[in-house]
Amino acid sequence: MKNIENRVALVTGASGGIGLELARQLRDRGYRLLLVSSDGEKLAKAKATLEQAPGAGAMDAAVVDLAQPGAARAVFDFTTGLGVEVDVLINNAGFGLYGEHVELDGERLARMLQLNVTTLAELCLTYGKSMKARGSGRILNVASTAAYQPTPFFAAYGASKSFVLSFSEALAKELEDHGVSVTCLSPGPTDTAFFGDLERRGLANAQFAPAARDSAAFVAKIGLEALFSGRLSRIVGTKNFWMAWSSRLAPRSVVATIAKNMMRTSPAPAQLGRQQG
């Protein structure tokens, strides 16, 4: 086993929000950080901020557009080029498109699904294979409470997060006998730019109001606690937990109708996209 000072954590979507907080808390645990984001300017600022902490260890950053085919290979080339093994993989990067599905931009839809679904699965394949071969490793995939029910006006985004949830729990069982743990984190409304944009676009209700949102630091803390305790899955917040699980007890038509009423804006929904980190 490596000493903690020699362990390496790879965080995608690390330039802001939950991803930056995950990186900050992993740094404080003594991990060497490998940071990935599509926004080079924000990533450079995040890296500089993380490096300012007393005793901060080594860290490297790569600008990679994870919404492009082949991105997982580019990330793997980045880490192998550094000559390091990734002990902790954090798949946090993602974005959502809000609006009527038939009115979405097709190119942006393809990019979202590439990022939220395909690239995440490919990163788990590549790094999970290495972890299995050496008999150790941890993976944290960030989903959403949107994974637990159909979400009109967020239809493809919610479905992509349902994929992350189901995929993560299945992968966890495949790898648990090989010294590798996989954890799925499902935050609810969080105080990030994503929910700020939703509010500005007219989605203003009590569930998404600023006072009801968890801080990114709190979500990251819960996520890392779940990761390092080997939890299969974790919903952030008691209220979010009961809302997510109650949706599994009600008829699907009722759940979908309630979600439709909650997610509808006035005037008609506008398209929205915001990447995590």
Tell me the per-residue pLDDT of 58-84, one tens digit each, with 9 for 90 and over.
Answer: 899 999 999 999 999 999 999 999 999
pLDDT of residue 28: 95
Check whether 7 has a pLDDT greater than 50.
Answer: yes
- Residue 277, domain member (yes or no): no
The total domain count for the chain is: 1
- Residue 246, domain member (yes or no): yes
Check whether 3 has a pLDDT greater than 80.
Answer: no
* Mean pLDDT of the region 191-216: 59
Check whether 40 has a pLDDT greater than 90.
Answer: yes
Q: Known catalytic residues?
A: 157
Strand intervals (E) in 66-221: 88-91, 95-98, 137-142, 180-186
- Residue 172, domain member (yes or no): yes
- Residue 91, domain member (yes or no): yes
- Residue 210, domain member (yes or no): yes
Check whether 126 has a pLDDT greater than 70.
Answer: yes
pLDDT of residue 207: 60
Q: Which residue has the higher pLDDT, 158 or 4?
A: 158
Contacts of 62 (CB under 8 A, 6+ apart): 34, 35, 36, 74, 75, 78
Domain that holds residue 127: 4-272
- Residue 70, domain member (yes or no): yes
pLDDT of residue 272: 46
- pLDDT > 90 fraction of the chain, expressed in percent and rounded: 65
Give the CATH number, domain containing residue 265. 3.40.50.720
- Residue 120, domain member (yes or no): yes
Pairing verdict, β 272-275 and 95-98: antiparallel
Check whether 5 has a pLDDT greater than 70.
Answer: no
Tell me the per-residue pLDDT of 109-118, one tens digit each, with 9 for 90 and over.
Answer: 999 999 999 9
Q: How many residues does the chain have?
A: 277
pLDDT of residue 194: 62
Q: What is the full DSSP assignment across 103-129?
A: GS-HHHHHHHHIIIIIIHHHHHHHHHH
